[in-house]
Amino acid sequence: MTTTIENLSRPPAARPERDQWIHVAPLEELCRRQVMVVRGADRPIAVYAHGPEDAPQVSAVDNRCPHMGFPLHRGTVQNGILTCHWHHARFDLCSGCTFDLFADDVPVYDVETRDGEVYVAAHPRQTDPGERLRRRLREGMEQNISLIQAKSIIGLLKAGVDYREIVRQVALFGLKNSRLVTALPGAQTGSINETNPTVGANLDE
């Protein structure tokens, strides 16, 4: 059973700046339910109690599977590994790292227990989305998985990365691996120099 809790609150001694906190439930209740879903700042968050009964561990992740969006609270947890029941993507609950290349890492959230009450941060842990997405784009090209390539490119564009930088990465990958890469339309056009990689006149300034 899952519960959606809509209120945002800040516990005593909460961290400054953008660290809003959401009250989830008493730890005892979370342990009984094993997973509860709360509304984060911009997405649902799945909060889990897992591990031994005498020393439960609390973890929280984005409730949407990064592969294709299936609600992760409908999955299962064993030995700290969360398995999505749609395509069986597996994630480490503590770090959010995926064990399966076809998926992506799931965003994780800080959690705190205060006086027996569980709180989760309203925003995911801060990472460099550009660096992560560049890595995922490279992995998608290395494994020739078009879904990862497309999701990485869309994410990079949403993160404000200049499209010419994306084209440059794709073109250099093709050049270094001696094969044509078509992750982006026109990625094979333009003038590329490995020591001074620039995309030529085919790209609008």
Query: What single-letter DSSP state applies at residue 83?
Result: E
Instruction: Tell me what pLDDT residue 125 has.
Output: 86
Tokens of 43: 């997405």
> What are the mean pLDDT values of the chain's consecutive 10-residue runs (205 residues total)?
42 49 96 95 94 90 90 93 93 91 88 95 82 86 87 88 92 77 49 45 44
Residue found by looking up tokens 């094993």 in the block: 34
Instruction: Tell me what pLDDT residue 26 has.
Output: 97
Please state the pTM of the whole predicted model.
0.64
Q: How far is CA 108 from the centre of its chain?
A: 7
Dihedral sign, Cα of residue 74, residue 68, residue 84, residue 61 = negative
Instruction: Tell me what pLDDT residue 42 has.
Output: 86
Instruction: Tell me what pLDDT residue 15 has.
Output: 47
3-state DSSP percent of the chain in helix, strand and coil, to 5: 25, 25, 50
Instruction: Tell me what pLDDT residue 135 has.
Output: 86
Instruction: Tell me what pLDDT residue 112 has.
Output: 95
Three-class DSSP category at 6: coil
Instruction: Tell me what pLDDT residue 49 has.
Output: 95
Q: Which residues, in sequence order, are CB contacts of 72 under 8 Å at separation 6+?
A: 46, 61, 62, 63, 64, 65, 82, 84, 91, 106
Partners of 47 in the β-ladder: 36, 60
Domains and CATH numbers, the chain: 21-121 (2.102.10.10), 128-205 (no CATH)
Instruction: Tell me what pLDDT residue 192 has.
Output: 45
Instruction: Tell me what pLDDT residue 6 has.
Output: 41
Nearest one of 92, 102, 161 to 129, comparing CA atoms: 161
Give CA–CA dist 132/148, Å, rounded: 12
Give CA–CA dist 167/188, Å, rounded: 9
Instruction: Tell me what pLDDT residue 13 has.
Output: 44
